[in-house]
Amino acid sequence: MKHAANAHRMAKEITSCPYCGAQTRIELAPDYAPKFVHCEACGARFIVERLAKGYQLLTVEEAPCCSNPECREQEMGGYDEE
Ligand SMILES: [Zn+2]
């Protein structure tokens, strides 16, 4: 087993879509920020958040604001959409 120094690169994983359960590829952000990904099977958008060990998947409905890239953006930018 080799331990590659890849902390600053995107990590690719295969995971199960939280909506349809199909296997889909995701990329883990190098900066631990939550990120939207799209299921390759059903096209649903969900959130992958990198953790210190591994990652977690969140549906957009269940994600708290701090784990939702759009919500974070709005809070930081004060941007208001009606
Ligand atoms: Zn899916």
How far is 25 from 65, CA to CA, in rounded Å? 24
pLDDT (average), residues 52-64: 93
Strand partners, 45: 38
Q: How far is the CA of 38 from the centre of ligand 1 (A)?
A: 8
CA of 6 relative to ligand 1 center, distance in Å: 28
Going from the Cα of 45 to the center of ligand 1, the distance in angstroms, rounded, reads 8
Residue 4 C-alpha to ligand 1 middle, in angstroms?
31
For 47, the token pair is: 């959130």
Give CATH for domain 11-77.
Answer: 2.20.28
**Domain-by-domain residue ranges, the chain?**
11-77
Overall pTM surpassing 0.95 (yes/no): no
User: How confident is the model over 4-32, as pLDDT tens digits?
Assistant: 554 556 789 999 999 999 999 999 888 88
Q: Are 44 and 17 in contact (CB under 8 A)?
A: yes
